[in-house]
């Protein structure tokens, strides 16, 4: 049986009232699964995540961070602060941050380096838009994003990153990539990382409208190590089914 990574990205959703039963239940669900389970929550709920998930099998973390340690960056959160809350994970380079907050590959590279320095596992997202795919630019865009985000990093650092291929056209649309499209791009990205950085066994997730009905098909593909899950992680029943996915 393949050991899968199932990591939820809650985005700007949930409340204290909703998270209390959610965290309570997810620790039980994760404890009964042989897969790796994680949740990336809004910053303001990290305190609660630390209180309720620490010591359980559930990894937790944030959805972004700044690359500076401290300073005059109103509204920002540093890796030191995530460390204070015991974060295991941080999502970096999500397409929503690239699109709405104009994050560049250079900035994402600084964030990846800082997270690694602090011992927080980056979940590094990459993926093309529909226009880029239709213009036969998907592979060059993915290559630019990966090489840019990993600039100046060596084999040991790169081996500590979890990657997530998230085609922008599949995120939150209900229309996932086909399992063949996901496998093709993820095997391309894995080969690139092996060739450029000498890491032959990188962990790479698929993200984009992953749900119980398509999980087995997508996650059974040989290069795909798990899923980064947006919408479906908000409904505990759906997330539970995803966490319990078993594939060879
Ligand atoms: C995401 O934003 O990381 C994501 C995968 O979203 P969704 O599952 O809702 O498409």
- 227 near 7, Cβ under 8 Å? yes
pLDDT digits (tens, 9 = 90+) for 170-220: 998 988 999 999 999 999 999 999 999 999 999 999 999 999 999 999 999
pLDDT tens profile 50-89:
999 999 999 999 999 999 999 999 999 999 999 999 999 9
Structure tokens at 188: 């391309």
Residues serving a catalytic function are 94, 166
CA distance 168 to 177: 10
Q: What is the pLDDT of residues 107-154, one digit of tens each?
A: 999 999 999 999 999 999 999 999 999 999 999 999 999 999 999 999
Query: Which residue lies with its CA nearest to atom 7 of ligand 1?
Result: 230
Q: Name residues contacting ligand 1 (CB within 6 A).
A: 9, 166, 171-172, 207-210, 228-232
Question: Whole-angstrom Cα distance, residue 244 to residue 234?
Answer: 16
Ligand 1: nearest atom to the Cα of 9: 3
List pLDDT tens digits, range 24-36. Answer: 999 999 999 999 9
How would you classify residue 158: left for phi > 0, otherwise alpha for psi between -120 and 50, otherwise beta?
Answer: alpha
Residues 6+ apart with CB under 8 A from 129: 141, 168, 169
CA nearest neighbour of 149 among 191, 206, 189: 189
């Amino acid at each position: 049986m393949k050991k899968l990574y199932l990591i939820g990205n809650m985005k700007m959703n949930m409340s204290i009232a909703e998270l209390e039963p959610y965290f309570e239940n997810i620790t039980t669900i994760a404890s009964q699964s042989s897969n790796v389970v994680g949740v990336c929550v809004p910053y303001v709920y990290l305190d609660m995540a630390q209180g309720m998930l620490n010591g359980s099998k559930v990894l937790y973390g944030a959805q972004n961070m700044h690359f500076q340690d401290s300073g005059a960056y109103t509204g920002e959160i540093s890796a030191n602060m995530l460390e204070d809350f015991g974060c295991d994970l941080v999502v970096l380079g999500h397409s929503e941050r690239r699109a709405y907050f104009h994050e560049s590959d250079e900035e994402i590279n600084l964030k990846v380096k800082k997270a690694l320095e602090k011992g927080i596992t980056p979940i590094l997202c990459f993926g093309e838009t529909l226009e880029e795919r239709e213009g036969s630019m998907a592979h060059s865009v993915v290559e630019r994003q990966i090489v840019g985000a990993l600039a100046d990093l060596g084999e040991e650092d790169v081996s500590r990153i979890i990657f997530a291929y998230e085609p922008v056209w599949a995120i939150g649309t209900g229309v996932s990539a086909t399992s063949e499209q996901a496998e093709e791009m993820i095997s391309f990205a894995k080969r690139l990382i092996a060739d450029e950085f000498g890491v032959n066994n990188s962990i790479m997730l698929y993200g984009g409208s992953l749900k119980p009905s398509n999980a087995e098909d997508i996650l059974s593909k040989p290069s795909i190590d798990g899923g980064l899950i947006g919408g479906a992680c908000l409904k505990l029943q759906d997330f539970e089914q995803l966490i319990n996915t078993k594939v060879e």
